[in-house]
Amino acid sequence: MEGKRFIRTLRLQNFLSYGSDGEDVELQPLNVLIGPNASGKSNFIETFGLLRAAPTDLASPIREAVGISEWLWKGGIDNPTAMIEATMEYPEGMMPLRYRLCFTIMDQRLKIVDEVVENERPNSTTEMDVDFFYRYQSSRPVLNARTKAESRSGTIAGRTQVFLHREDFSLEQSILSQRKNPDQYPEVAYLSNQFSNIHLYREWNLGPYAKPRMPQQKDLPRSFLLENASNLGLVLNDLQSNPETKQLLIEKLRKFHEAADDITTKIHNGTIEIFIHEKGLVQPIPGIRLSDGTLRYLSLLTILCHPTPPPLVCIEKPELGLHPDILPTIAELLIEASKRTQLIVTTHSDGLVSALTEVPESILVCERDDRGSHLRRLEPESLKPWLERYSLGELWMMGEMGGTRW
């Protein structure tokens, strides 16, 4: 599948519902997870939340969700070691990077037992080991730092190993939060920057006085939508400064609401407010009066139509609160957006899955047994005879591709 791939592969072991055997998955630009409740879809999303926290405070999402013991696989030994291992595109390097994080519980707290930043493979067939940029080495960590040396042809870059002493770093935090100098540690700084820009959308409060409805303070971030959509007006205001993006937003809004004529924002007393203009109405409709579905759809538009999105975006159940008629448009938006950012999406909607019939390779089937959660990507060739008669969503509901309870 053509598109953006930041994370190429992911391996999970002893992590939440992913068991001690380990689960490997190759990620595509668009990855739509289907499967029963409690099969492991949301736990897969949690992986990216933990990676996002690594450059700031690794323990933060763990503290918010009961504690470290609840993040470890419960189907084997007590207090196992969880592992997240990913390979990422690295434009500045000769090959992809591999990042590995292993952690367990000690005295009811998170304890990192291994962390690695290294090349995906050796430089040549004659080399036994890969080039590494950080290794934890059983609490004796070492960084492979870039240095500059003078030569006859000018300044050249070299490497030197920097061994960290106990007082130089925290045992409870990722190296990504502690060494961010791109001149000395370019690979570590790159992952720190990219991981911190991962965006997750799991739940939006769109009730009568929810933040996306109300006038919003102008000092909120405007580059991309926050997880609670509280800066929706500022993001829409910025996107409309790009004529092509504004045209796309209005075009897609009309597919949702045919009478919609324009989206505008108004700045007043240091706040910004959203308005939808409808044909035949003298006055626009303010955000406070918009339906939940309209606000949800506008939020999705700011994410999926953004011309410069972050490297990876996770969206749980984008179909919630939306009429089934708009699901083909949502599928179109997902496919188009995956050309600019890598997408991880969960859904329970057979309608949305049917709208992805032309790209069956985008579907990951999530199932769970006594060994834990498992992910399996659909293979277009094996489904080809079925897809001549049925849509992808129909096959799912018929039980022909897994991801159901029967």
**With 80 as the cut, is the pLDDT of residue 65 above it?**
no
Examine the domain organization and report whether 44 and 128 are in the same domain: yes
Query: Mind listing the pLDDT tens digit for each residue in 191-224?
Result: 999 999 999 999 888 888 899 999 999 899 999 9
Does residue 237 belong to any structural domain of this protein? yes
Mean pLDDT of 402-406: 86
Mean pLDDT of 307-335: 97
Examine the domain organization and report whether 300 and 213 are in the same domain: yes
CB of 239 closer than 8 Å to CB of 305: yes
Q: What is the DSSP letter of 368?
A: E
Does residue 162 belong to any structural domain of this protein? yes
pLDDT at residue number 63: 86
Distance CA 406, CA 399 (A): 7
Examine the domain organization and report whether 255 and 182 are in the same domain: no
Q: Which H or E run contains 350?
A: helix 350-354
CB of 376 closer than 8 Å to CB of 361: no
Amino acid letter, residue 235: V
Does residue 360 belong to any structural domain of this protein? no
Examine the domain organization and report whether 18 and 149 are in the same domain: yes
Examine the domain organization and report whether 140 and 14 are in the same domain: yes
Amino acid letter, residue 9: T
Least confident of 47-61, 149-163, 290-304: 149-163
Examine the domain organization and report whether 224 and 177 are in the same domain: no
Show which of 198, 219, 240 is a domain's final residue.
198
Examine the domain organization and report whether 302 and 225 are in the same domain: yes
Q: How many domains does the chain have?
A: 2
Residues 6+ apart with CB under 8 A from 282: none
Task: Determine the 3-state secondary structure of 127 from DSSP.
Answer: coil
Examine the domain organization and report whether 269 and 122 are in the same domain: no
Residue carrying the six token digits 């962390």: 115
**With 80 as the cut, is the pLDDT of residue 150 above it?**
no
Examine the domain organization and report whether 194 and 267 are in the same domain: no
Does residue 116 belong to any structural domain of this protein? yes
**With 50 as the cut, is the pLDDT of residue 314 above it?**
yes
CB of 217 closer than 8 Å to CB of 234: no
Examine the domain organization and report whether 41 and 89 are in the same domain: yes
Task: Determine the 3-state secondary structure of 252 from DSSP.
Answer: helix
pLDDT class of 157 with cuts at 50, 70, 90: low
**With 60 as the cut, is the pLDDT of residue 156 above it?**
no
Amino acid letter, residue 229: A
Least confident of 79-93, 175-189, 203-217: 203-217
Q: pTM score, two decimals?
A: 0.95
Residue carrying the six token digits 């993001």: 235
**Domain enclosing residue 36, as ranges:** 7-198
Does residue 332 belong to any structural domain of this protein? no
Residues 6+ apart with CB under 8 A from 267: 218
pLDDT class of 155 with cuts at 50, 70, 90: very low
Query: Mind listing the pLDDT tens digit for each residue in 27-64?
Result: 999 999 999 999 999 999 999 999 999 999 999 998 88
**With 50 as the cut, is the pLDDT of residue 153 above it?**
no
| CA 20 to each of CA 40, 105, 277, 372: distance values in angstroms, whole numbers, following the listed order | 15, 16, 55, 8
Examine the domain organization and report whether 172 and 31 are in the same domain: yes
Which of 108, 235, 130, 229 has the alpha carbon at shortest distance from 187? 130
Q: Which H or E run contains 116?
A: strand 109-119
Query: Mind listing the pLDDT tens digit for each residue in 266-281?
Result: 988 889 999 999 999 9
pLDDT class of 93 with cuts at 50, 70, 90: confident
Quick one: 126 exposed, middle or buried, by C-beta within 10 A (0-12, 13-18, 19+)?
A: exposed
Report the largest interatomic distance among the alpha carbons of the chain, rounded to a whole angstrom.
75
Does residue 369 belong to any structural domain of this protein? no
CB of 151 closer than 8 Å to CB of 128: no
Task: Determine the 3-state secondary structure of 64 from DSSP.
Answer: helix
Q: What is the mean pLDDT of the chain?
A: 93
Does residue 29 belong to any structural domain of this protein? yes
Does residue 374 belong to any structural domain of this protein? no
Task: Determine the 3-state secondary structure of 117 from DSSP.
Answer: strand
Show which of 258, 287, 309 is a domain's final residue.
309
pLDDT class of 149 with cuts at 50, 70, 90: low
Examine the domain organization and report whether 249 and 101 are in the same domain: no
Query: Mind listing the pLDDT tens digit for each residue in 251-262?
Result: 999 999 999 999
Backbone dihedral region for residue 3 (phi beyond 0: left; psi -120 to 50: alpha; all else: beta): left
What proportion of the chain, given as a percentage, has pLDDT over 70?
98
Show which of 168, 198, 228 is a domain's final residue.
198
